[in-house]
Structure 1
Amino acid sequence: MSRAQRLLDLIQVLRRHRRAVAGAVLAEELGVSLRTLYRDIETLKAQGAHIEGEAGVGYVLRPGFMLPPLMFSEEEIEALVLGSRWVSERADGALGKAARNVLAKIGAVLPDDLKRDIDTSGLLIGPGEPIAAGDAEIAAIRQAIRSERKIRIDYADGQGSVSARVVWPIAMAFYDRVRVIVAWCELRGDYRHFRIDRIAALDASEERYPRRRAVMLKQWHAIRGVPEQ
């Protein structure tokens, strides 16, 4: 394994750990000696990685580190291009623009031959039906999910009956034709799924819901029997 690949692997391992992890654990996972691990950590720090900790205490990678130029396999590039193209065509305007920016930023640091793979990828996203939900609603819901805040909605069921709900949004599912919110519903006292195109009115609240979203999402996965992503 090249040193560059080893450094990249170390970054990836640190990214998977949200709390400080012992050097011995890192070294064992990477298959290197402790001395090599400590040397690699100092190298990454010198390159700008926000790694905190020390020998005997453990290490944690703080957010914000910009990876150096990356090497991807052909399949990895195709996955990036296909996923980004799907988001740019199927998500709201802001998220679509972000997907295009991601490809541009990755392309800017790739060698010329790999950069051409992005520009000439033969994996395309076919035309789909227009999504009824507007950009503003989807963007507001995404913001509520990120900030763990309640939203108030007027929601029409399958028969057209409208009810006022206060929900705690924890996730959004993107299907080809509809977008669905996964949320805790205060009216029902349980998790419910709401089609965004059936929301007649939406008011984003400044009130945070009282539970952590990550905990609720894990509970929802367990109840539904859905494997965690």
Structure 2
Amino acid sequence: MNRIDRLTAILIQLQGKPRIPMEDFEERFGVSRRTIFRDLKSLMEAGVPIGGDAGEGYFIVDGYHLPPVVFNKEEAAALLLGAKLIEQNADSQIAKNFQEAMYKIKAVLKCHDREFLDTLEQSISVIASPTVTNFGFPDSHIAEIQMALAARKIIQIRYHSNYKDQTTDRKVAPLGLVYYSSRWHLIGYCHLRTDLRDFRTDRIQSLNILSDNYHPEDHPNYLEFLQRMIGGTDANEATIRFSKKVTRFIQDQKYHYGFVEEHAEGDVVEMKFITPHYEYLARWLLMFIEEATVVSPPKLQGLVASYSQGLITHHQKYFTS
């Protein structure tokens, strides 16, 4: 990045947050602190009202506004990719908001860059899951949740639990909005349960933002809660040998089951996994039949053998002598 581009980028970064630590500039641009000092001085000499210091960080004085920003075609292409993903992985209101933003982005592009983006748009697709294709993406109240998160406001929701087939009214302090397992989840402190809870947003039937504020520091860390809930608290090691002919088909799958490392030995590949649930790993291994062998631990060996016997017993009526 040349100096002119870096000065513009520093100005945009300063405009985006109340205060920017010196370390953030150094990390982003990969230059020395002395270089950043020189750049900030040049901006101030050009009339940009920058305040602060290296210890507390830097800021732009209230009232100064950056001239309109023009995107280049690479930046617009990155936003286009985001728009395609959002169309299939968010509710209708968020998709609509992003589409409106894309219209504005296209409006400020140069003519040949707009043509570039239109051509690119025709060549990128994100295929929706069968549920979304057949029924449409549910209203997940994501826009309202975003507003509540930013304003630190408590929300009132009506939530349907599939597990209990029960609908309840809850007051929730929203702490995080997380996308995992192909769904959006609201992680928040539930006043009804007096603890952190995970709410699937597509099961929220109604949502109102209340006037009451909350302080995130008064509640447990929602990311730690989520990590414990998804991964479990135990870390169990397992070693499994796969035939080489099947390993090429599980390059992506293995990471979902706690893959850590592997090494080849002749016609087999020995893999190490760290998993919170041996049962989960054992059921996955059944699909490989004789192409996978559990080396350790004995507990996992026993589970695979037990599940295999259970399959035989269950399907015995279809066997012919």
TM > 0.5: yes
Cα distance, 1:153–1:102 mapped onto 2, change above 3 Å? closer
Q: 1:154 aligns with which of 149, 152, 158?
A: 158
Structure 1 58/144 Cα, relative in aligned 2: closer, same or farther at 3 Å? Answer: closer
3-state DSSP class of the match of 1:187? coil
Q: CA deviation at 1:119?
A: 1.1
Structure 1 78/150 Cα, relative in aligned 2: closer, same or farther at 3 Å?
same
**Take 1:44 and 1:106, find their aligned partners in 2: how far apart are those partners?**
28
Q: Structure 2 residue aligned with 1:37, among 40, 50, 57?
A: 40
Q: Which has the higher contact order (CA 8 A, sep 6+)?
A: 1
The structure with the larger Rg is 2
2:7/2:39 contact within 8 Å kept: no
User: In structure 2, what is the Cα distance between the partners aligned to 1:217 and 1:67?
Assistant: 40
Aligned to 1:53: 51
Contact 2:185–2:199 under 8 Å retained in 1? yes
Q: Conserved in 1, the CA contact under 8 Å of 2:157 and 2:170?
A: yes
Separation (CA, whole Å) in 1 of partners of 2:10 and 2:19: 15
Pair 1:218–1:109, CA change in 2 (3 A) = farther
Q: Which residue of 1 aligns with 2:14?
A: 14
> Which residue is 1:222 aligned to?
224
Among candidates 127, 143, 148, match of residue 147 of structure 2: 143
1:167 to 2:172 alignment: yes
Is the 8 Å Cα contact of residues 189 and 197 (structure 2) preserved in structure 1?
yes
Instruction: State the shift of 1:149 in Å.
Output: 1.6
Deviation at 1:60, TM superposition (A): 0.6
Counterpart of 1:134 in 2: which secondary structure? coil
Determine if contact 2:160/2:203 at 8 Å carries over to the other structure: yes
- One-letter code of the match for 1:5? D
- Deviations 1:109-158 (Å, cap 9, x if unpaired)? 333333323211122222441456326x4443333223222222333321
The one-character-per-residue Cα deviations of 1:171-203 (angstroms, maximum 9, x if unpaired) are: 333468643211111222222111233334444
Aligned pairs, number: 214
Structure 1 72/221 Cα, relative in aligned 2: closer, same or farther at 3 Å?
A: farther
Aligned to 2:126: 125
Do the aligned residues in 2 keep the contact of 1:154 with 1:199 (CA within 8 Å)? yes
* Correspondences of 1:105-124 after superposition (within 5 Å): 105-121=104-120, 122-124=123-125
User: Cα distance 1:217–1:88, how it changes in 2: closer, same or farther (>3 A)?
Assistant: farther
Aligned counterparts of 1:140 and 1:85: Cα–Cα separation in 2: 22
TM-score (normalizing by structure 1): 0.70
- 2:126 is paired with a residue whose SS is coil
Asked if the contact 1:52–1:59 (Cα under 8 Å) also holds between the matched residues in 2, the reply is yes
Whether contact under 8 Å (1:181, 1:195) holds in the other structure is yes
- For residues 60 and 188 of structure 1, the distance between their equivalents in structure 2, rounded to whole angstroms, comes to 41
> CA, structure 1 residues 197+58, in 2 after alignment: closer, same or farther (shift >3 Å)?
closer
Letter matched to residue 4 of structure 1: I
Would the aligned equivalents of 2:92 and 2:137 in 1 still touch at CA under 8 Å? no
Output the CA distance in 1 between the equivalents of 2:175 and 2:99.
Answer: 25
Cα displacement (A) at 1:83: 0.6
Shift of residue 66 of structure 1? 4.7
| Paired residue secondary structure (2:72) | coil
Cα shift at 1:15:
5.8
Structure 1 match to 2:303: none
